Amino acid sequence: MKNYLVFILLWIFSKIDKLLASKEEKKLFRKCTLRVNAYIDEECKKLHIKKPLVVIGLISNPTTRGECIREGHVIRIDPLKGDEYLTTLRHELRHVWQWTYREDIIRWTHENIERNDDDSYRYNPVEIDARHYAEFHDDNGIMDIPVAVLEKMNENGKLTQKLKALLTVSLDNSDV
């Protein structure tokens, strides 16, 4: 019942966003909705996940283009923050995949990695994986790392260092 109410509230807020939007903003909402709807089924099949509820609407955080909430059951995309809707959708769908197949890593990172600066977001294994998938459409293997290994690297103070190295290698090989 609780999830159902959240879905209804998100849907209502997205409708209010669209009602208050300017004519240009309404065009962006429609364009984003059409592109997302045309793409999402294929991407969900590729990831072997259930199709989440996708809400096209405003997100108050100025740097956030999309978000995956309700443990992967809802994706929000803000079309006023750029026209990279499909990249944002792939990023957020990867989070749905993570909730479906690697909830242990998501819960561990939420409990053990501070979210107080850009580095903690940039080098979070969950975010590295989602960014990589969104850009390259494939798996980089980071979600195959057992939580015990992440814990050990974190205890030794080497987690961020190792993830920075992985990200650097990934970026260096991106033009291959």
Residue 168 pLDDT > 70: no
Helix axes 147-155 and 159-172, enclosed angle (nearest 10): 110
pLDDT tens digit string along 38-68? 999 999 999 999 999 998 888 888 888 999 9
Half-sphere exposure of 93 (CA within 13 A, CB side): 27
Question: Comparing C-alpha atoms, which of 169, 129, 133 is closest to residue 150?
Answer: 129
pLDDT (0 to 100) of residue 159: 82
Sheet of 66-69: strand order equals 53-56, 74-77, 66-69
Sequential DSSP letters for 39-80 = HHHHHHHHHT-PPPEEEE---SSTT-SEEEETTTTEEEE-GG
The full set of domain ranges for the chain reads: 1-101, 102-176
Round to the nearest angstrom and report the end-to-end CA distance of the chain: 49
- The CA distance from 73 to 67, in Å, is 11
pLDDT (0 to 100) of residue 3: 57
pLDDT tens digit string along 102-155? 999 999 988 887 766 667 778 888 998 999 899 888 877 788 888 998 888 888
* C-beta of residue 167 within 8 angstroms of C-beta of residue 175: no
Enter the pTM of the model.
0.81
